[in-house]
């Protein structure tokens, strides 16, 4: 019996696969469910949860329970669509995976989360002093903080949660916010 197998079984169940009972035992049904998941996600079908399958499971799980509106846009419980778009009104948006992460981060801490910067077109990125290759430019980053709650400990907890979800993070302890991004990254900038 293993906690890791149990975790895999929980995710597979949530995703609608049938790994059998969540008992931490990698039996026939769990093996079949892992293989089916791998097949449907274009992964090597070997029944082993290596790095790629692990990431695919996390990604698929982060998209579970999310609602789409009639235009196929993600509907979040605590955020309006314009909270993540470029501030100039050009319509540039961040990716769904990061939006879903923002909602989970909010749920995890239970506090309102302010998105201080989402997607940025080149004009806006330059105006706010963003680096030329910023992930904000492609909609793969957002900056956020919990008003009135921020300190170094909370920043570290936010970063730990991001890493656990395979989301990259840059901590800004002096400015009391975190930058979240895809791809993975883990840095502190003072």
Using CB under 5 A, list all residues that contact Zn ion: 86, 88, 90, 121, 124, 141, 143, 179
Helix axes 28-40, 51-62, angle to 10 degrees: 80
3-state SS of the chain: helix, strand, coil percent to 5?
40, 15, 45
Which residue number, 34 or 135, has a Cβ lying nearer to Zn ion? 135
In the complex, minimum distance from the CB of residue 104 to Zn ion, in angstroms, rounded to a whole number: 18
> What is the three-class DSSP state of 131?
coil
Which residue number, 140 or 179, has a Cβ lying nearer to Zn ion? 179
In the complex, minimum distance from the CB of residue 59 to Zn ion, in angstroms, rounded to a whole number: 21
In the complex, minimum distance from the CB of residue 103 to Zn ion, in angstroms, rounded to a whole number: 18
Letter string b/e over residues 131-145, b meaning 16 or more CB atoms within 10 A of that residue's CB: eeebbbbebbbbbbb
In the complex, minimum distance from the CB of residue 99 to Zn ion, in angstroms, rounded to a whole number: 15
Q: What are phi and psi of 179, to 5 degrees?
A: -105, 125
Which residue number, 5 or 135, has a Cβ lying nearer to Zn ion? 135
Which residue number, 13 or 116, has a Cβ lying nearer to Zn ion? 116
């Amino acid at each position: 019996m293993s906690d890791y197998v149990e975790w895999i079984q929980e995710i597979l169940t949530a995703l609608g696969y049938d790994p059998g009972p969540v008992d931490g035992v990698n039996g026939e049904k769990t093996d079949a469910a892992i293989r089916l998941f791998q097949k449907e996600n274009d992964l090597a079908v070997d029944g082993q949860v290596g790095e790629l399958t692990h990431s695919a499971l996390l990604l698929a799980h982060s998209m579970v329970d999310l609602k789409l509106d009639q235009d196929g846009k993600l509907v979040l419980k605590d955020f309006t669509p314009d909270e993540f778009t470029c501030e100039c009104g050009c319509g540039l948006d961040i990716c769904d995976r990061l939006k879903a992460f923002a909602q989970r981060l909010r749920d995890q801490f239970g506090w309102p989360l302010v998105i201080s910067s989402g997607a940025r077109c080149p004009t806006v990125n330059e105006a706010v002093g963003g680096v030329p290759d910023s992930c904000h430019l492609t909609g793969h980053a957002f900056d956020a903080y919990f008003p009135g709650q921020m300190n170094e400990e909370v920043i570290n907890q936010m970063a730990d949660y991001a890493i656990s979800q395979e989301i990259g993070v840059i901590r800004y302890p002096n400015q009391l916010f975190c930058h979240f991004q895809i791809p993975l990254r883990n840095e502190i900038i003072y």
